[in-house]
Structure 1
């Protein structure tokens, strides 16, 4: 039953979640538990494709679990994209959220990999105060993109370095843009205030708009 898989996933994460980025066995166990839960969810949702709740559950729960526990797996992303396109009606897939799901899975299948000295692709996103930013239009000489999350220990550990850069360079010379992948906006805001991250921020929840 799906409930059993979710219970197992929750127990594994409660007991060993701190090791997810350092212990291959834990990471593999969580990955497999996530896939098992997702498979059962997707089988059930396929029986109710015209129900908006099914669409929302796929977006929020299935893809949310995948982002957190599976990570980068182009083959799995291709399976989910095929399922998504075959299962849900055009009325859902053509919405803004629907297009974002499609684009996000496509990026996972064929991710943009930047090489050293390569040009940054054109990226735009909305800041937390509602302003739209296209990085190519910024006036500063340098732009530093920082991807982080309130639960990401390595991200938090590098904040003193970012603050040192902010103090060293003027605002006209360097623009720091932190993009959070937190799914909980309250945790994001809490973390930003707690660590005094006084620069430009965006909350992405799963894929920078390009």
Structure 2
């Protein structure tokens, strides 16, 4: 179990809200400009949940911000993430490798419980984030299942690299494969409520309809 004296840390995997970057499936259904507006809304909801959870967090951006040169200070927060330092995810690495590196750096910096989230889940709340870190007091791993077969949150109290290896990312096999790996490792897993991500026009319509 984690040392209660060690702080928790939240990793936020995000993109800068730039037209034409990210949300490609959503943009295919509603257009790039509308998809960008939805992504800005999702960013705001995620940022509010992170702020409300009052947990130290680092934002890991998929690409360097526009105009960010070598001398740009990552401790100077981005406009969407006031109060939080940011890093850039390793280029050309699979998602699992990028998450593993972010976890490794957080643990190396002294965190005792670490969780990662994305920015596609409007149902994520500060209460759920706090619940995730509470679960890591008595479990080895906590997962927030998404109804598309992935997860919106993964947390652990020490690094388990096998949970990030050999996954077909962005498919319905991610969650079951992760849980199977955790079982093979003998890890105690807690699960949060199932939520849904906004990846497509159909997902957006469900959200707007309140489903």
Q: Is TM > 0.5 for Structure 1 vs Structure 2? A: no
For normalisation by structure 1, the TM-score amounts to: 0.30
Higher helix proportion (structure 1 or 2): 1
Higher strand proportion (structure 1 or 2): 2
Q: Which has the larger radius of gyration?
A: 1
**Higher RCO (CA-CA < 8 Å; seq separation 6+):** 2
For normalisation by structure 2, the TM-score amounts to: 0.30
